[in-house]
Structure 1
Amino acid sequence: MTVTSLPPPRKRSSASAAARSLQKGQQTRAAILEAALGLASHMGLEGLSIGALAEVTQMSKSGVFAHFGSREELQIAVIREYHQRFEEEIFFPAVREARGLPRLRALFERWVKRVSVELDSGCIYISGAVEFDDRPGPVRDALASMVRAWQAALERAIRLSIDEGHLRADTDSLQMLFEIHGLILALHHDARFLRLPGAVDRARTGFDRIVSLYLTTTPDRKPRAATR
Structure 2
Amino acid sequence: MTHDGRRLRGLRSREAILEQAVSLASVEGLDGLSLGRLAIATGTSKSGFFAHWRDKEQLQLDAVEWAARQWAESVVGPAMRAPAGVRRLFALHEARLRFYEDGVLPGGCFFFTVQAEFDDRPGAVRDRVARSLREWLEFIRRQVAEAVALGELVESVDAAQLTYEIDALGEMTVLHSRLHDGPVSLVHARRAVLQRLRALCPDPTLLPED
TM-score by length of 1: 0.83
- Post-superposition offset of 1:51: 2.7
Partner of 2:39: 54
Q: 2:110 aligned with 1:136, yes or no?
A: no
- Against the structure 1 CA distance between its residues 20 and 38, is the aligned structure 2 distance closer, same or farther, given a 3 Å change threshold? same
* Partner residue of 2:200 out of 205, 208, 214: 214
2:85/2:144 contact within 8 Å kept: yes
Structure 1 counterpart SS, 2:108? coil
Of structures 1 and 2, the larger Rg is shown by 1
Deviations 1:83-115 (A, max 9, x none): 111111111221122110111111111011112
Q: Measure, in 1, the Cα distance between the counterparts of 2:183 and 2:97.
A: 15
Aligned equivalents of 2:39, 2:196: Cα separation in 1: 47
Aligned: 1:159 with 2:132:
no
Q: Gaps (5+ residues) in structure 2?
A: none
Structure 1 unaligned regions, length at least 5: 1-15, 224-228
SS state of the match for residue 126, structure 2? Answer: helix
Separation in structure 2 between the aligned mates of residue 69 and residue 50 of structure 1, nearest angstrom = 12
- Aligned 1:56-135 pairs, distance under 5 A: 56-118=41-103, 120-135=106-121
Q: In structure 2, do the counterparts of structure 1 residues 185 and 31 end up closer, same or farther at CA, with 3 Å as the change threshold?
A: closer
Q: 2-side partners of 1:33 and 1:184: how far apart?
A: 25
AA at the equivalent of 2:195? R
- Cα separation, 2, equivalents of 1:212 and 1:23: 49
Indicate if the aligned counterparts of 2:157 and 2:200 stay in contact, CA closer than 8 A. yes
| 4+ long deviations beyond 4 Å | none
Query: 1:198 is paired with a residue of what secondary structure?
Result: helix
Q: Secondary structure at the match of 2:102?
A: helix
Q: TM-score, normalised by structure 2?
A: 0.90
Distance 1:182 1:88 in 2: 21
Distance (whole Å) between structure 2 residues aligned to residue 197 and residue 117 of structure 1:
11
Tell me the equivalent position of 2:14. Answer: 29
| Distance in structure 1 (CA, Å) of the matches to 2:87 and 2:24 | 35
Aligned to 2:23: 38
- Aligned mates of 1:198, 1:24 — CA distance in 2: 43
Structure 2 counterpart of 1:182: 168
Give the letter for the 2:146 counterpart: L
Determine which structure has the larger helix proportion and give its number: 2
Q: Count residues with an aligned counterpart.
A: 206
Which secondary structure state, in structure 2, belongs to the residue aligned with residue 67 of structure 1?
Answer: coil
Structure 1 residue 152, shift from structure 2 partner: 1.2
Larger mean Cα displacement after TM superposition, 107-116 or 45-54: 45-54
Aligned letter for 1:23?
A: L
Does the CA contact (< 8 Å) of 1:151 and 1:177 recur in 2? yes
Partner residue, 2:189: 203
Matched residues in 2 for 1:57 and 1:204: separation? 36
Per the alignment, do residues 120 and 28 of structure 1 end up closer, same or farther by CA in structure 2, a change over 3 Å counting?
closer
Structure 1 residue 120: Cα displacement: 4.2
Partner Cα separation in structure 1 for residue 83 and residue 202 of structure 2: 17
Judge which range, 157-166 or 189-198, deviates more: 189-198
Between 1:63-72 and 1:167-176, the stretch displaced more is 63-72
